[in-house]
Chain A
Amino acid sequence: QQQVKQSPQSLIVQKGGISIINCAYENTAFDYFPWYQQFPGKGPALLIAIRPDVSEKKEGRFTISFNKSAKQFSLHIMDSQPGDSATYFCAAKGQETSGSRLTFGEGTQLTVNP
């Protein structure tokens, strides 16, 4: 049973455009929401993360928007580049989770066309 739902499954944008990936969660006890980026043949790597006490976090071209009341968060990639083409996973961690376990979304395959 997936506790974090991610959409869309795949996304194609043009260079310079904005990529938006959405995630929704059910468990109100989640207290940490990271996004991971995975290139083909590689393991995922942390891209950016947010805690529920803020509504937005920005790092360069990457922004997380967080809506606690709607139990949704999203990743925005501004000025998307072909090098951003990768699979993106959202995730969430519970407050009392043993071992800092993460629950991952299904993933979004992003393709940025030149």
Chain B
Amino acid sequence: AQRVTQPEKLLSVFKGAPVELKCNYSYSGSPELFWYVQYSRQRLQLLLRHISRESIKGFTADLNKGETSFHLKKPFAQEEDSAMYYCALGGSQGNLIFGKGTKLSVKP
């Protein structure tokens, strides 16, 4: 079964602290993974795709096939990072399978 698990519903950190949002997936083939972000009163938007191996807004995510994980990391959190973060898995039909999301709150 294709599934995405984000174990933390809420993650609260102080500004300048490292942050890691966890994502585990279940997929039998070669996975295509994404992180989407939704800032307050804005639409859902793509943050990262694993295939690009890029760093966006200081965030990185590495695909670990052995642990079936795609955790999102940032070494120094900023207040403007506060948002809902969704991990998503590309399904076999071209759709996306989303996790339940993690709300990141960065305190001053």
> Does chain A bind chain B?
no
